[in-house]
Structure 1
Amino acid sequence: MPTRFFDHGSAIPAPQDASVNVARDLPLVESNKLRRVLLRSELLKKAKILEGFAYATPERNRLIGTPGHEATIAYIESIIKSYPSYYTMYKQPFEMPLGTGANLTNNDVEMEAFAVGIAPAGDVTGQLVYVPNLGCETKDFAAVTKGSIILVGRGVCKSAIKDALGSTAGAVGMLVYNNVEGNLDGYSLQKITTSEGAYVPAGGISKADGEALVARVQAGETIVAHISTTTKVTTTYNVVAETIGGDHDNVIFMSGHSDSVAAGPGVNDNGSGTISLLEVAIQLTAFSVNNAVRFAWWSAEEEGLLGAEYYVTEAPQTELDKIRLMLDFDMMASPNYAYQVYDGDGSAFGESGPAGSGEAEHEFERYFVQDAGLNFTTIEFDGRSDYGPFLAAGVATGGIACGAEGIKTVEEAAMFGGQAGVAYDVCYHSACDNASNVNVGAWIQMTKAIAHMTATFARSFDLLPPKSEQVKAKRMAYAKKMSDKATGALWGV
């Protein structure tokens, strides 16, 4: 199936006049009116629905390629399709190899391992060679010999880079060990292809097992590893919807990811963002818009932002140029929350986004303080979630979050309540991330912030730099700067 975009003049038929007139007869959207119709009860009801999708399956998760995630996609689709006079919708398919099983022995001793998605299936044997410095540069592989299996830590760059560089150096397989506690079930190389080389079979192991193997190799022990992995190719989908009304050459783009990790239902990560966007999309249908509003629910974020990456890769530059601002929402309901705003202007962490990113940050901050009477804190604009590929492409981006595995500080506890010294979400990427793992008070506030930004930019882009050749040139220069850097070291691990 070919990729489609919202070109109302070609790829997707123009809306019928009757549909346009329906939207025109509605009152123009206003932030306070959109916010006030959002209900906690609807958020919680939908949280139970997503939890039910997970718990109705043997996997008890919403990982891509599972019935739980397929049910999630169908649910989103069914809601958007119930507003045929307001939204145009399509599903964007893409294929992804998923790991289905792995067996690992080291000197004939069995160890727990998981197949790494995107890496090919295979059955390989070789001497373990430790790769220092996390294996993000060619020089790190100087000790790799032909027929060996590399042992490398997760982090800094995507595992695809490590695997491909190892393959180019002569390795026949890779063991990647976690950089946090827990296994690597459901992990992937995080890039479909890479210019560094072809991929070899890969297994993922725990941090403790990896560090123990590193110590043995560095002590001079010869370890012969045997990795046997199986995979399956699945087709998964981004769900993209756009208002029929509004200027389609000037788009406000609101997004979040629909999938979970293998460990659990993923109700906070990122059922919460999925549901917040659905609620805003539903309530927006009572209003007209000046600028088109596009919603996207990305697939395979947990495998390396792959759905968003695929969308950006497939989109022609003319399509990306229509996006005045892309905002992403991942983890809106963390139990030990903080209201976090991405540092779009670079004033806190030094890495600013393309023109418009700073203005998005400032409007989030203004909203929290002046409209909602809430504190906020600023977090690094590091491309960790689905805004990353858009950021790298020179699109103005921004977003908010409630916090993941990071630890809440004493200062943040004073600002937001909760417990200092405890993770924002103690159930991050684990089985207990279910419908009980949400702070509904924080969730409704974050959903209202999403509604505010939707309404504000659906009315006008006056807060952003004017759409001009100069601004476009700045965006393109930003994208070139990103491509000239070590891309893997920037976006996700």
Structure 2
Amino acid sequence: MRSRLRKGVLGALTAVAVAVSPLALTGTASAAPGGPAHEHGKDHHPGKGPGKDHGKDAVRKLVKAVSGKNVKKHLKALQAIADANGGNRVAGSPGFDASRDYVAKKLRAAGYDVTIQPFEFTFDGYITPPVLQQTAPAQKTYTFGFFSDYVAMGDAPAGSAAGTVQAVDLTLPPGPDNTSTSGCEPSDFAGFVPGNVALMQRGVCNFRVKVDNAMAAGASAAIVFNEGQPGRTDVDLNPTLGGPGVTIPAFFTSFAVGQELAATPGAAISMNWDPIVEQRTTYNVIAQSKKGDPNNVVMLGSHLDSVQEGPGINDNGSGSAGILEVALKFAKTKPKNQMRFAFWGAEEFGLLGSDHYVATLSEEERAKIALYLNFDMIASTNYTFGIYDGDGDAFGTAGPAGSDVIEEDFEKFFAANRQPFTATAFTGRSDYGPFIAVGIPSGGLFTGAEVRKTEEEAAIFGGTAGIPLDPCYHSACDTIANISDKALDVNSDAIATLAATYAFDTGTIGTAERAPAAAKAAAGHGHTHKPADAAS
């Protein structure tokens, strides 16, 4: 998942028996245990019901077959791929390409039509990880990464620096409000020794202002540390400098690192940053069922790439492994609607894979997609069970019409399984973004990233208040050990349940505005989807 902060609030929680869903699995009294109950209704498309061999028992068996244990086998395979490829599966790297091949091979063997869709993107990463060391009065090496000691600021240039640390107008201990003006004015650098490393504190002005002032004062490098108030202590964001023009290395550190350097007389550091920006090729993997109405497509997706800092087993091996296992178990069924499973590339660079895919679809092809379900981080160790806020009642931003029904069906699953749940916002942060932008009803699940669990959430979901929902988010420790087996199992069942539901009836999902385009596509373009620039 892209590194962008979100604000979460706890939505309605319930552990009551499931009510009847507005969607119908025609001819089926109920879906799998814990899934939405369905009855045929007047609002549903005629002829969308299951065949003779797809009653409630078939759906129940399908969902039962998708276990967290089986999903975790795929996660172990992705971990092995990362271990063999420099510790990550970042887009445009051998680790991602091996992940692509693993998924595609499994899906082809199961009988899906598999398309490998290439696209170009700008890889913005590093050749070697950045280095920050204290060299005097003692030797100490700090740890790079999110929720670790430091990260390099975006747009900071390549380079090395070494020198004595000089504090710039720090507020220590920090005030109760965001009161630090460290580095915000040129006058803060009165008496600054050219060649020293400027140590500044996060506060009321942006990072670029601080770094520009440090350069003007002759600093050889800049370090900005988090301010120190509650919620402003960790390395929990990746600051950017807003474009070119910076000529010195610039790092962002935790409050603890900055406080330590400030309190150490004669502290000196060395730092190195070795970034790379170049054009690379990466891929989407699209698998489509051979059975089902090609003019009424149920689509599930997750991003397959990790960040460069780690193997990305929760983010987002978990979502990818979940939909892969669902797809494999679905392979022998005869869905009424065509099923399409997508594994996106370069999500961590800005939703590039899903955006490319949606952009290559014609209006008629888009109209054939009845709905899109997104699964990004479904097994965070300090999880909440988050459901995308399709109706907008928790966050004020609803998805396209029909997204509310998807949210309701997920809620019914969790309620029937006596699991609490909460709303998570449609921020456009993950790969549903390009789909909702063109009016495709969407939904999905998310167990949390860098946001800290509240006391209220800990009382409801368990876990630990005050630490991130995924303490290894975008870090080297996002390994197979960074998985909640319970969250993985529950969410995998939820994916299977709704996929099984919508495989036979998309019912009220969709909008009146999209219906004419869908009818036009059905009348004259009943072909199997294949993006124009795809290579098989």
Shorter-chain TM-score category? 0.5 to 0.7
Query: Which residue of structure 2 aligns with residue 54 of structure 1?
Result: 82
After TM superposition, list the pairs within 5 Å mapping 1:53-452 onto structure 2: 53-57=81-85, 59-84=86-111, 86-97=112-123, 99-100=126-127, 181-182=234-235, 205-207=251-253, 230-370=276-416, 372-452=417-497
Computing the radius of gyration over CA atoms, which structure comes out larger, 1 or 2?
A: 2
Distance 1:71 1:203, change over 3 A: farther
| Contact persistence 2:370–2:441 (CA under 8 A) | yes
Worse-matched range after superposition: 343-352 or 29-38 = 29-38
AA partner of residue 64 (structure 1): A
| Contact persistence 2:452–2:467 (CA under 8 A) | yes
AA partner of residue 77 (structure 1): A
The CA deviation string for residues 41-64 of structure 1, in whole angstroms up to 9 with x for no partner, is: 21222221111111123x211112
Task: Tell me the percent identity.
Answer: 37
Q: Which runs of 5+ in 2 are unaligned?
A: 1-49, 133-141, 145-149, 160-185, 187-200, 213-222, 227-231, 259-271, 519-536
| Contact persistence 1:31–1:451 (CA under 8 A) | no
User: 1:458 offset after TM fit, Å?
Assistant: 0.9
| Contact persistence 2:385–2:421 (CA under 8 A) | yes
Q: Is it true that 1:35 corresponds to 2:80 in the alignment? A: no
Worse-matched range after superposition: 261-270 or 230-239 = 230-239
Name the CA distance, whole Å, in 2 between partners of 1:44 and 1:56. 18
Name the CA distance, whole Å, in 2 between partners of 1:454 and 1:177. 46
Aligned-partner SS, 1:307: helix
Worse-matched range after superposition: 310-319 or 340-349 = 310-319
Worse-matched range after superposition: 412-421 or 250-259 = 412-421
Aligned-partner SS, 2:309: coil
Name the CA distance, whole Å, in 2 between partners of 1:470 and 1:307. 26
The CA deviation string for residues 305-339 of structure 1, in whole angstroms up to 9 with x for no partner, is: 11111112222222211111111001111112111
Worse-matched range after superposition: 73-82 or 94-103 = 94-103
| Contact persistence 1:64–1:236 (CA under 8 A) | yes
Distance 1:228 1:202, change over 3 A: farther
Name the CA distance, whole Å, in 1 between partners of 2:424 and 2:512. 27
User: 1:390 offset after TM fit, Å?
Assistant: 1.5
Name the CA distance, whole Å, in 1 between partners of 2:356 and 2:381. 32
Please report the RMSD computed on the Cα atoms of aligned residues, expressed in angstroms.
4.7
Worse-matched range after superposition: 200-209 or 351-360 = 200-209
Name the CA distance, whole Å, in 2 between partners of 1:470 and 1:246. 19
AA partner of residue 122 (structure 2): M
Name the CA distance, whole Å, in 2 between partners of 1:239 and 1:361. 26
User: 1:380 offset after TM fit, Å?
Assistant: 1.3
Distance 1:199 1:413, change over 3 A: same
User: 1:122 offset after TM fit, Å?
Assistant: 8.8
AA partner of residue 96 (structure 1): T
TM-score by length of 1: 0.67
AA partner of residue 43 (structure 1): V
Aligned-partner SS, 1:256: strand
| Contact persistence 2:114–2:285 (CA under 8 A) | no
Distance 1:434 1:454, change over 3 A: same
AA partner of residue 464 (structure 1): I
The CA deviation string for residues 26-85 of structure 1, in whole angstroms up to 9 with x for no partner, is: 93375422211112321222221111111123x21111222221111110011011023x
- What is the total number of aligned residue pairs between the two structures? 397
AA partner of residue 502 (structure 2): F
The CA deviation string for residues 250-293 of structure 1, in whole angstroms up to 9 with x for no partner, is: 11110001011122111111111110011000000121111111
Name the CA distance, whole Å, in 2 between partners of 1:427 and 1:333. 12
Distance 1:103 1:454, change over 3 A: closer
AA partner of residue 82 (structure 1): A
Q: Greater helix share, 1 or 2?
A: 1
Name the CA distance, whole Å, in 1 between partners of 2:245 and 2:338. 41
Name the CA distance, whole Å, in 2 between partners of 1:228 and 1:438. 31
Name the CA distance, whole Å, in 2 between partners of 1:116 and 1:315. 36
Worse-matched range after superposition: 389-398 or 359-368 = 389-398
Query: Which residue of structure 2 aligns with residue 136 of structure 1?
Result: none
Distance 1:471 1:332, change over 3 A: farther
| Contact persistence 1:202–1:229 (CA under 8 A) | no
